[in-house]
Structure 1
Amino acid sequence: MFDNLSERLERSFKILKGEGKITEINVAETLKDVRKALLDADVNYKVAKTFTDTVKEKALGQNVLSAVKPSQLMVKIVHDELTQLMGGETAEINIESRPAVILMSGLQGSGKTTFSGKLARMLKSKKNRKPLLVACDVYRPAAVEQLRVLAEQIEVPMYSEPDSKSPVEIAQNAIKEAKAKGYDLVIVDTAGRLAIDEQMMNEIAAIKAAINPDEILFVVDSMTGQDAVNTAKEFNERLDFNGVVLTKLDGDTRGGAALSIRSVVNKPIKFVGTGEKLDAIDQFHPARMADRILGMGDIVSLVERAQEQYDEEEAKRLQKKIAKNQFDFNDFLSQIAQIKKMGNLKELASMIPGVGKAIKDIDIDDNAFKSIEAIIFSMTPLERSNPEILNGSRRTRIANGSGTTIQEVNRLLKQFEQTRKMMKMVTSSKMGKMMPKMK
């Protein structure tokens, strides 16, 4: 995510390294490089120029403390301005009404239908809402079926009608259905086109007028850069939408759309799609995104993801087993499952400050745990619960059964034993004593 931009900005700040103070000359040289980096990232020219002019003004007006290096100060100023450029504060979605109605808009191929499913899943689990997905795309082949499949996967009802009905009627009838059956959230998926046309705009404007949605979200593929910004501008002029959703942000190495769209349409980015899985959706936090662009990681989001998977009862059970040195391969499998639920492994690692750059060119496959799981699943229940009985013949059988080598099995057992000892030490140390005592 934003790899190219992050690398270019880091090179720009190196111009100030070794400088004793900020001067108009070295600031100008640094910001010339920053502006080029932004333009190469497909950021709107006016946005890039205004941004660097503001940074220059603030940098020259600063009294640099002796404890702060000029390059560090410049990073701080750029961070703050990037945060403001992307909206400053985190923008919340308006779903206070019962039922709350969300209208999805965007071009064909932007990921609108998939995002509708992701949003329904997120609001169902995090906000305890009862969503109803509505299929108003009566033109694209299999659009209704795609939404139906998504609805089944997230266990949410879907409303659709025969193709003969107009999208306006379908949307109106869906809201009546929601009120009658107690659904408190209606997400209306509309038709997209390959390019903006008058018919599409008139239709979605008619749906808006008919259902008066609480929230209109414009969904756009972030990888289309300035095209995304231009499309957003045209949609906003007709719909006056409430917020932007950037999809495919995980594949966007430049970042032009994320950095330009707020300034051009004056509407906040509310959500981002970070992968194909149905849980690959995040609320957009400008300050955290600025952290990631500048290579500072995003530890807050990492902690939040971990907390979502945290099970207090399971944690208590596990702590007791660790204290008694009874942590086994069943527990190990359970921990792997929790990590996998948190999302893409490379993305998770990049949230740790300093790690993103180190793993930029390293491919971390989501199947990284596959061979470990295969080895553990090849053990008998007795072996999983009692790792100490794994002698040579058992290890050979496990290697053959898992399609791995005896060396891989031995390596896993060694790592497991080291992990077990470390967990035991932590539990019995002062840190462990400070934790709440389990009765």
Structure 2
Amino acid sequence: MAFEGLSERLQKAFSGLRRKGKVSESDIRDAMREIRLALLEADVNFDVVKTFIKNVRTKALGAEVLESLTPSQQIIKIVNDELVKTMGEAAVPLNKAPHIPTVIMMAGLQGAGKTTTVGKLSKYLMDNDSARPLLIAADVYRPAAIDQLQTIGKQLNVPVFEMGTDVDPVEIVRQGLATAKENKNDYVLIDTAGRLQIDEKLMNELKNIKELAHPNDILLVDDAMTGQAAVDVAKGFNEQLDITGVVLTKLDGDTRGGAALSIRAVTGKPIKFIGQGEKMDALDVFYPDRMANRILGMGDMLTLIDKAQKNYDEKQAMEMAEKIRENSFDFNDFLDQMDQISKMGPLEDIMKMIPGMANNKALANVKMDPKDIAHMKAIVYSMTPQEREDPDLLNPSRRRRLAAGSGRPVVEVNRMIKQFNQSKQMMNQMSKGNMKGLDGLMGGGVSGKLGKMAMNSMVRKQKKNKKRRLKNAKRFHS
């Protein structure tokens, strides 16, 4: 996940301040040096870092900070506020036309994920605005670009307008817009051509499309994994096309996150969306304040709630709550919850959104292998309908049958059933108001089961490592 390295370095800078009751100017100077190095290592633009540090230092050296009872917290707040300011203060919505269709022109270099993002954005509009979009295939140069867009269109049940690869892209856009007006599509998304780099031919074509379509938004799809190059690309496209916003892709990959912190400051144009994953629903609105919280390890409960609301059916949730209250939660419900949690993303990413979890060293290296969920499902699928509804039927002989049917060891079957029963008991306690706060967040449902599995796995690994170290120590001294 992006920003992990930056977050760790910033926490290191703040830990020195937290240990002091009062901070001096030299303490602040040392902290600023650490923060500066952290930002540069994260590939943040040099001029942006320079301005950022200057602003933070000026505010941190004020009398109200140096003489306050909690100077370290004051400085963290200043850093947080400056991060939000650097990334753009608030989320920026799409520009909506006063009459249909609203035209969105997508631009970007090859490999940034432009065509996939066209599909993601159309799904976002359908889910959040009940939109009826039309996709225009105006990339006639990249092999299979039209086929890819048509495949995405079929997957999402969205119409795609195309005229093949032998027609001028400007003409394709002209006829596509006419089709959208005729069919009363309220959004048009134009998938334009990309290049390996910015060149005159590409820009002239994009300018001609812009002049014809008069788009309400020109969104640059930019690859976060290219670091400083992503900022240069944004600057180049903005100078030529006057873009209205950026969609930053691959933010879940091996990226240091510097582009997210630099683009707004360098171009003056907002990041409107971020892409994190390959699935069509893996597109999120960019909230600078939420991103700042995640960078500083403060969690991101609002995004977690958004994900839960998006992936949880309200009726199902109410039925689940009733079952928990009645203590009738069974393995069928367990399967449903596993599916719902899986849709929200990797467990370790979800846990980091909970305040306090991002900096929890015990959980820092916890990884939940998707195979573990598949194994758990295989065990449940091996049960009879009666066994799923009444787990008390699972005696030793039935458990051996489940192990054979799922291809998992008996000990794993026993462990999963034990964890299921513990979680069921915990959820029943929660429903009676016996658990509050963070325990409630982490204890119930599949998150509790999976978190517990991950923790148990980590503890077993630590014990094994300890035994190995002792063995090696004995061998060394003998």
User: If the length of structure 2 is used for normalisation, what is the TM-score?
Assistant: 0.87
Q: Verify: 1:364 aligned to 2:377, yes or no.
A: no
The equivalences for 1:18-97 within 5 A come to 18-64=19-65, 68-96=69-97, 97=99
SS for the counterpart of 1:369 is helix
> Unaligned regions of 5+ residues in structure 2, if any?
437-478
1:420 paired residue number: 424
Task: Identify which range, 314-323 or 337-346, moves more after superposition.
Answer: 314-323
Structure 1 CA distance for aligned equivalents of residues 47 and 305 of structure 2: 36
Q: Which amino acid aligns with 1:371?
A: H
2:468 paired residue number: none
SS for the counterpart of 1:332 is helix
1:223 paired residue number: 225
Tell me which of 289, 302, 309 is aligned to 2:304. Answer: 302
2:345 paired residue number: 343
1:14 paired residue number: 15
Structure 1 CA distance for aligned equivalents of residues 264 and 165 of structure 2: 37
Report the alpha carbon displacement of residue 360 of structure 1 after superposing the two structures with TM.
4.0
Q: Verify: 1:401 aligned to 2:401, yes or no.
A: no
Report the alpha carbon displacement of residue 62 of structure 1 after superposing the two structures with TM.
4.4
Task: Identify which range, 325-334 or 19-28, moves more after superposition.
Answer: 19-28
> Unaligned regions of 5+ residues in structure 1, if any?
433-439
Structure 1 CA distance for aligned equivalents of residues 352 and 48 of structure 2: 27
What's the C-alpha RMSD, in Å, of the aligned pairs? Answer: 1.8
Report the alpha carbon displacement of residue 102 of structure 1 after superposing the two structures with TM.
0.5
Deviations 1:28-65 (A, max 9, x none): 22112211111111111111011000001111124138
Does the 8 Å CA contact 1:3/1:360 hold for their aligned counterparts? no
SS for the counterpart of 2:246 is strand
Q: Which amino acid aligns with 2:56?
A: V
Q: Which amino acid aligns with 2:188?
A: V
Report the alpha carbon displacement of residue 429 of structure 1 after superposing the two structures with TM.
4.0
Q: Verify: 1:283 aligned to 2:277, yes or no.
A: no
Structure 1 CA distance for aligned equivalents of residues 241 and 273 of structure 2: 18
Report the alpha carbon displacement of residue 253 of structure 1 after superposing the two structures with TM.
4.0
Structure 2 CA distance for aligned equivalents of residues 121 and 196 of structure 1: 29
Q: Verify: 1:390 aligned to 2:391, yes or no.
A: no
SS for the counterpart of 2:64 is coil
Report the alpha carbon displacement of residue 156 of structure 1 after superposing the two structures with TM.
1.3
Structure 2 CA distance for aligned equivalents of residues 299 and 139 of structure 1: 43
SS for the counterpart of 1:63 is helix
Deviations 1:391-414 (A, max 9, x none): 112111111111111111111111
Does the 8 Å CA contact 2:194/2:202 hold for their aligned counterparts? yes
SS for the counterpart of 1:251 is coil
Structure 2 CA distance for aligned equivalents of residues 320 and 11 of structure 1: 45
Structure 1 CA distance for aligned equivalents of residues 401 and 257 of structure 2: 50
Q: Verify: 1:189 aligned to 2:228, yes or no.
A: no
Structure 1 CA distance for aligned equivalents of residues 50 and 285 of structure 2: 28
Q: Verify: 1:380 aligned to 2:384, yes or no.
A: yes
Q: Which amino acid aligns with 2:400?
A: T
Report the alpha carbon displacement of residue 312 of structure 1 after superposing the two structures with TM.
2.6
Does the 8 Å CA contact 1:136/1:160 hold for their aligned counterparts? yes
Structure 2 CA distance for aligned equivalents of residues 25 and 65 of structure 1: 11
Over the matched positions of the two proteins, sequence identity in percent amounts to: 50
Does the 8 Å CA contact 1:279/1:343 hold for their aligned counterparts? no
Q: Which amino acid aligns with 1:395?
A: R
Q: Which amino acid aligns with 2:367?
A: D
- 4+ residue stretches of structure 1 with deviation over 6 A? none
Report the alpha carbon displacement of residue 5 of structure 1 after superposing the two structures with TM.
0.8
Structure 2 CA distance for aligned equivalents of residues 258 and 335 of structure 1: 33
Structure 1 CA distance for aligned equivalents of residues 27 and 422 of structure 2: 51
Q: Which amino acid aligns with 1:243?
A: G
Q: Give the length in aligned residue pairs.
A: 432
Does the 8 Å CA contact 1:22/1:59 hold for their aligned counterparts? no
Structure 2 CA distance for aligned equivalents of residues 172 and 78 of structure 1: 48
User: If the length of structure 1 is used for normalisation, what is the TM-score?
Assistant: 0.94
The equivalences for 1:311-322 within 5 A come to 311-322=313-324
**The structure with more helix, counted as a fraction of residues:** 2
Residue 70 and residue 94 in structure 1: after superposition, are their counterparts in 2 closer, same or farther (change >3 A)?
same
Structure 1 CA distance for aligned equivalents of residues 233 and 322 of structure 2: 56
Does the 8 Å CA contact 2:113/2:249 hold for their aligned counterparts? yes
Report the alpha carbon displacement of residue 67 of structure 1 after superposing the two structures with TM.
7.0
Deviations 1:235-267 (A, max 9, x none): 001110110111011124422111111111000
Structure 2 CA distance for aligned equivalents of residues 9 and 319 of structure 1: 40
Tell me which of 133, 148, 160 is aligned to 1:158. Answer: 160
Tell me which of 86, 99, 121 is aligned to 1:119. Answer: 121
Residue 369 and residue 317 in structure 1: after superposition, are their counterparts in 2 closer, same or farther (change >3 A)?
same
